[in-house]
Structure 1
């Protein structure tokens, strides 16, 4: 038959392979440019749908976009400004909490016992002055039994008015 049988086989296989490669190239080109060839301009909705498929976001040209570094720099600048504002503000004076002291006066207590108990509760500064104030107002025998709570800084007159019975 033919002398160059291998050459003819090689030529035939080469032509077939070339035709297949050419068809693949046309198909890839068609796939890449599919949206352009479909007809005219692409609608924003179509473009957004295609971008969503590829996990992209469509951003208008006039809108400014920020990278992660830009966002971090903006956050740091804002935090520094906030720190400087806080440093410039005066620190408010903390009001010490008012202490509440409770005492229980029994029926057997006299004015001296009550004065000692109030002195131990740090409600009065001088027990003798308290007894003297009771005696001046003639209330040493008018002390009521019961439980009483006083806020720190209560005056001697406030304490006397709460623990005694007023004169008729």
Structure 2
């Protein structure tokens, strides 16, 4: 975002109003500022649907899960979602072994993904199946088909509002 203020012509109130508008807040615009930018509301989880998908899940609940995950688990869940809801263990491990922004060692991917189960217990609907299912025999991860579209919508909001996502704790590695 780029914000330019002219310190010779803009007042302090205009500068504050411009910063507030840039962050989607509703500024108190001074009367003297005739060409003030309109404050556009920023999308948030409340803009996602709250009607039930599969197993009591809603787009809002899926976003809450995504927002609460550690970055590595969020990236892995996104990867399985991007692959249509099904991915082999090997594909996920290879993808993240040399990933440029979220590398996860093959030996630690399972531990990283336990965050999904823990977060689901805290914010997911009661008595639902696991969001990310592990099939040990077929060695694959799977997401219920009815949830894949909702996850796409939740990740789209996450892309627009990364400020709502949990970050990596300082100094820790995935």
Global fold match (TM > 0.5):
no
| Greater helix content | 1
The structure having more radius of gyration, on CA atoms, is: 1
Q: TM-score range by the shorter chain?
A: under 0.3
